[in-house]
Chain A
Amino acid sequence: MYNVQVTISQKESVLNPAAKATFEAAEKFQAATFEDFVIKRLIEFSVNAADEAEAKSLADQFTQQLLVNGAMEVYDLRIEEAN
């Protein structure tokens, strides 16, 4: 069994009203300057596979088919063997 973490973020070119709203709210904190906000989604699951390579392949395929929309999002996938 392998644990998978998929971190999904919008491509920089895509409209990101949530990040923009957070930046505008952060401007009210005058003690420091906060900028370059990126809001990501983290999805965790486990996958049953013979080895790490197979787990990565299965998780990668699943992520592309359902979890992300390649037109607007990018992702980072991490895998580790479950204890």
Chain B
Amino acid sequence: MKACVIQFQGTGGELELVDALANFDAVEVTCVDDQATDLSAFDVIFLPGGASHGDYLRPGAIAAITPVIEAVRKAAAADTLIIGIGNGFQILTEADLLPGYFVINETLNFYEGYETVSFENGELTLPVSSKYGQYVLDEKVDDKQVLLSYQSVSPFGQEASTIAGVSNEAGNVIGIMPHFERATQPWRKSQDGLVVLVSLLNQVTRIGDN
């Protein structure tokens, strides 16, 4: 399986994601920058977390108009699996590849911590970290598009959506706010991120049980 990790200017989470993917021998990882124009060789494309372009204007806004996003659009249209994590999720909403938008946290402060989220038929402990983590959906999405949910309230604000991970209608473009890639190594507080990662990668090629 060929995986691509996009490095936008200022992106900070790409190395953690590459480390997480290194858990799987079947995954061959290539990093590309935001000037890449052809991603057709990849089976799965990741937009990592970390405040690209300093979160200027709005988180993800500047990254969303870089050349690589046109390549991401083409890949999405060709049914390639696209996964945005944290800021990568914000980029996908700014690019209108996912519904909704993000606003600054209720406290106006950066928040990080471990949260319990519902995923598939169980509960996971995953790290979150964001200053602009309040996810707002003005439109109703189908239940099948909701992949992860916080327990009763978003950690970023009481009025925000409790959705922690969502897909587009087709199911191949996915945004996940918790940094599951930071919960995949044995020295981390939680390794529950592996459950998410295996489940996502299994959509492309079966690589194991989650």
Is there contact, CB below 8 Å, between A17 and B136? no
Q: For this complex, into which size category does the number of interface residues on chain B fall?
A: 20 to 34
Are B61 and A69 in touch, CB under 8 angstroms?
yes
Chain A proximity of B132: nearest CB distance (Å) = 10
Q: What is the minimal beta-carbon distance from A36 to any residue of chain B, in angstroms?
A: 19
Q: For window 88-129 of chain B, which residues contact chain A by CB distance below 8 Å?
A: 94, 100-101, 103-108
Give the residues in chain A near B100, CB-CB below 8 Å. 71
Which listed residue (B104, B107, B138) contacts A71, Cβ 8 A? B138
B61 to chain A, nearest CB (A): 7
Query: Once bound together, how far apart are the Cα atoms of A23 and B157, in whole Å?
Result: 17
Assembly CA distance A72 to B61 (angstroms): 13
Q: What is the CB-to-nearest-CB distance from B139 to chain A, in angstroms, rounded to a whole number?
A: 9
B108 near A21 with CB under 8 A, answer yes
A36 CA / B148 CA spacing, docked (Å): 36
Evaluate contact between B104 and A69: CB separation under 8 angstroms: no
Residues of chain A within 8 A (CB-CB) of B77 are: none
Beyond A66-B61, A69-B94, whether A15 also contacts B101 by CB under 8 A is no
Q: How far is the CB of A67 from chain B (nearest CB, A)?
A: 7
Complex interface: chain B residues within 8 A of A57 (CB): none
Proximity string of chain A (8-52) to chain B, C-beta cutoff 8 Å, 1 when within and 0 when not: 001001111110010000000000000000000000000000000
Interface size band for A? 10 to 19
Contacts of B106 in A (CB 8 A): 15, 17
Q: In the complex, A53→B206 CA distance in Å? A: 57
A65 at the interface (CB under 8 A from B): yes
Q: Are B101 and A72 in contact (CB under 8 A)?
A: yes
- Residues of B129-145 whose CB lies within 8 A of A: 134, 136, 138
CB distance from A4 to the nearest CB of B (A): 16
Report how far A13 CA is from B107 CA in the complex, Å.
19
Point out the residues of chain B lying under 8 angstroms from A16, CB to CB.
Answer: 103
Partner pick for A67 among B57, B136, B160, CB 8 A cutoff: B57
Complex contacts, A65 vs chain B, CB 8 Å = 65
* Distance in angstroms between the alpha carbons of A66 and B66 in the assembled complex: 11
- Chain B residue contacts of A18, Cβ below 8 A: 104, 108
Taking CB atoms, residues of chain A closer than 8 Å to B159 are: 15
Query: Please, how many angstroms separate the alpha-carbon atoms of A67 and B106 in the complex?
Result: 23
In the assembled complex, which residues on chain A have CB atoms less than 8 Å from the CB atom of B74? none
Q: Is A72's CB under 8 angstroms from B108's CB?
A: no
Which residues of chain A have C-beta atoms less than 8 A from B62's C-beta? 66
B111 to chain A, nearest CB (A): 12
**Docked pose: A16 CA to B103 CA in angstroms:** 8
Contacts of A10 in B (CB 8 A): 103
Q: Which 9 A-B pairs have the closest CB atoms?
A: A72-B101, A17-B106, A71-B101, A15-B103, A15-B159, A17-B104, A17-B108, A69-B101, A66-B65
